Chain A
């Protein structure tokens, strides 16, 4: 591990102090410490946020406010999440292991970095690590890589389960910096790789995620998360889907569809949502929606199976939500 400085912040103000722009913030550390040990991330300085009081889940009339330091396990088990945003609870519980979920935070999960083996092993050609060096995965071993949202510069898949459900629920992310506060919709928080895969989010240097807000939408209670993977537990998604359905009188009045394991960012499919509107909640609509969600794919030689897998995963999630 590379030597680094360390500051434990006792308040948000202290965390945002003088050198925040040059530091990396650490919360649960489940991703960051791993990458530091691998030598992939070499921060000069860590600012530890764990002492900040950002660890509460509060239900309001506008929805649910989640502190950035709420642990994944606490969020997954929270009654409001289990009942009003079920897909989010399911997504969280499908990720990692109990030990990791006890440690990992909501803010940290928003910042989770890709599992691309070329990236994690610091192989020579990786535009995330060394901009302009190329993408070894594009013509290399890319079975686990993205089929949506990639470019020739990067096809690394976004690994989070939590973010997929939050994208479906249109979460808002509150950010604080010395300059003040802003709120960013989660759909705009993560960036497509384009020509700059090393820039993964809109988070500015020195900016801290303080809160995630979920809007109060009744039909989000009728939501599901389905995840397909290479083993039964403790494994990232090959494809996943978070869906919510508003079904009234046998007709879908509104739908939310997001995909994981297939995109370079947590993938919202408004195309699928459009198709579902006004349709009966059953096979033909679900399959049409699934095809639409994957219409813009750009698979590589080893990951073409994900197109079908993602469609079937989405159909399964829609079926489960319809039957809920």
Chain B
């Protein structure tokens, strides 16, 4: 029988989701729940002068109106030191740092009454002139101490000298706009206190343990007294990575009214206090020899962060290692503005940075008169130039070769504006995709019962990616049980700890822990069997045994077998339970680890009206072992569709005069609709990576987005001869 891992099995939670039975955080039935509505600031900078809450307080059904004047000051709220996530605003003082910052909270017995009362609250402000425009020449730009994992700047060789000597150069500035995460499911939290010092949170989060720690710290609670549950997530994309202000607000409000409190933020508030992708201004300078060998790369980023916290979009990191080049210089600078704190948004760093680098590479191809694929293959890096380590695996060449054949790249004529289909200008574009392999420590437990079924638990999350399904596959293989006999449970801090579902790390982190727990449970049952005189396997060594389909058997004589259910029943019928932890070994010290891919786009541009339509997308990826081809392809598909929105429509706009966000819903913040999404083809090259982790899986949540943006932009240039370096590529930039 084939292993379950690797098969394109249907999602185990698919039926629950399509029938509406899946219980998302806001759906959890909690008795006597009250509803909180958060009122956001109507200014971007200044102070609250006065809040008139009288009318709201006396409105029907209102239980409490909280402002900085009367909100509790939880024990840990003012503690200094590491924040376990972002600095939050939950009514602790009267300062306003950004548009839409929580300034008051109304709690009522129904949602409608809370909303009605909230409209009666009148806030007056002392406004300071805000600044929300990112100026790359700002004298206030500063170098952050470090990026999330990487150093702020890098220097290798001598960029200046090499660039000055290079016979062919590209030197251009690329900009990407501010963007906001918009998962279908809004942020939602239900806070339930048990007594004064125990708290349960049903929270839409990508990291239950992160929420637990942050809230325990803010409220001065023992970590063991905070439980966080998140069974289903309607998309996260980074904004649900760390808790935002509504989470402590829910806990605080529940305490004040002495009832459980539910907060579901509004779509408009998705653009306020729950993170965003910051705008980037990136200067990329490339130098090359006449035959296309890169001799110099410089990639310099300027981005924004808030006045009170720091997040860096690590755009230039990708340029340190994507291509072979002896002289490389990268830098990241931030300017503090009167904006909310940015955060991780799908493929942080890589998608913005790779748009700039891969657009510049396309420009270099034209400057050299060289095919863009040939240019990239000419600069293939057999080692990571940044760390000088060999790659654990790298299949970029195979991706390009396979992709070029699948896409029909040879049908492309080189000159811009040289291909047409009726009135439409046609363009082909290509770009490299890449995303690092991340891994964190993770734990899992496995419980095998006397009926031959198993429950495997880990406090990971399924953010819509298919975690329930792939972990069930891994566990069934490790345990040697039928797929249907294994139930995988997640999203509860009562389970063994696992990391945040972010950075494409879930399969690579939690997968090995689940595998380890499954293998350990199987071994325990095998030990029971070989010690059991009634077992056909009695007296053997466990190393001689294998397990499949619920039975242990001798590898050399599969007919000699004993079912695990029988073994457990004969030995007292008690569950076999083990907990296991999996951490990284020495592999990262020896190898550089990244996923790679080649993404192709065909666009059509209306030469008169400037409308761009993506006609085809193809992505070919080398991402290690694909644990489930079906959910794996969905991950890539989602990323590539996002690439369409990133390239053509998405942007958060501010009114620079008052610093307020004017794109506040999905009518003004445009994402692709069905008609914008063409045929999208996805293929994986067979990539066996013996080094990344026990499963050979690299993580696939983000890489799909990283090449699509530049591929579409490059195709628009090929179609029109216009290089739009400022995203999104809208009609006004092409007519």
Contact = CB atoms under 8 A, between A and B. Distances in A.
Nearest to B609: A228
B431 to A, nearest CB: 22
A115 B672 CA distance: 19
A129 B648 CA distance: 32
Nearest to B663: A117
A136 B655 contact: yes
A121 B116 contact: no
A140 B675 contact: no
B676 to A, nearest CB: 5
B365 interface: no
Interface stretch (A10-18, A65-73, A173-181, A308-316): A308-316
A123 B112 CA distance: 22
B94 to A, nearest CB: 20
B533 interface: no
Contact of B731 (A39, A121, A123, A228): A228
Contacts of B649: 230-231
A257 to B, nearest CB: 17
Contacts of B648: 231
A82 B671 CA distance: 31
Contact of B735 (A139, A143, A305): A305
A141 interface: yes
A121 B271 CA distance: 13
A1 B115 contact: yes
B664 A121 contact: yes
Contacts of B662: 117-118, 121, 123, 140-141
Interface in B662-686: 662-664, 667-668, 670, 672-676
A141 B655 contact: yes
Nearest to A303: B732
Interface string B418-442: 0000000000000000000000000
A238 B613 CA distance: 16
Interface in B635-670: 648-649, 653, 655, 657, 660, 662-664, 667-668, 670
B536 interface: no
Contacts of B268: 121
Contact of A233 (B115, B116, B610, B675): B675
B611 A234 contact: no
Interface residues of A, number: 32
Contacts of B731: 228-230, 238, 305, 309
Nearest to B644: A231
B145 interface: no
A235 interface: yes
Contacts of B606: 228
B610 A3 contact: no
B608 A316 contact: yes
Given A228-B611, A231-B649, A231-B670, A312 B735 contact: yes
B119 interface: yes
A51 interface: no
B423 to A, nearest CB: 9
B245 interface: no
B660 A123 contact: yes
Contacts of B675: 231-234
B112 A1 contact: yes
A308 B735 contact: yes
Contacts, number: 80
Contacts of A313: 609
A78 interface: no
A234 B610 CA distance: 18
A50 to B, nearest CB: 23
Given A238-B731, A309-B732, A316 B609 contact: yes
A315 B608 contact: yes
A2 interface: yes
Interface in A288-306: 305
Contacts of A140: 655, 657, 662
A307 B662 CA distance: 24
Interface string A136-148: 1001110100000
A1 B113 CA distance: 9
A2 B112 CA distance: 9
B732 A231 contact: no
A322 to B, nearest CB: 15
A58 to B, nearest CB: 33
Given A140-B657, A141-B653, A231-B670, A2 B676 contact: no
A143 B673 contact: no
Listed residue (A141, A231, A238, A313) with the most chain B CB atoms within 10 angstroms of its CB: A231
Contacts of A2: 116, 119
A102 to B, nearest CB: 17
Nearest to A34: B667
A2 B120 CA distance: 10
B131 interface: no
29 contacts: A1-B112, A2-B116, A2-B119, A39-B119, A117-B662, A117-B663, A121-B268, A121-B662, A123-B660, A136-B655, A140-B662, A141-B655, A141-B662, A228-B609, A228-B610, A228-B611, A229-B731, A230-B670, A231-B649, A231-B672, A231-B675, A232-B673, A233-B674, A234-B673, A235-B673, A238-B731, A308-B735, A312-B609, A313-B609
Interface of B: 42, 112, 115-116, 119, 268, 606, 608-611, 613, 648-649, 653, 655, 657, 660, 662-664, 667-668, 670, 672-676, 730-732, 735
Ordered nearest first, which 5 A-B pairs have the shortest CB separation? A233-B675, A232-B675, A305-B732, A312-B608, A228-B609
Given A140-B655, A229-B731, A312-B735, 15 more contacts: A117-B662, A118-B662, A140-B662, A141-B653, A230-B731, A231-B670, A232-B611, A234-B673, A234-B675, A238-B731, A305-B732, A305-B735, A308-B735, A312-B608, A316-B609
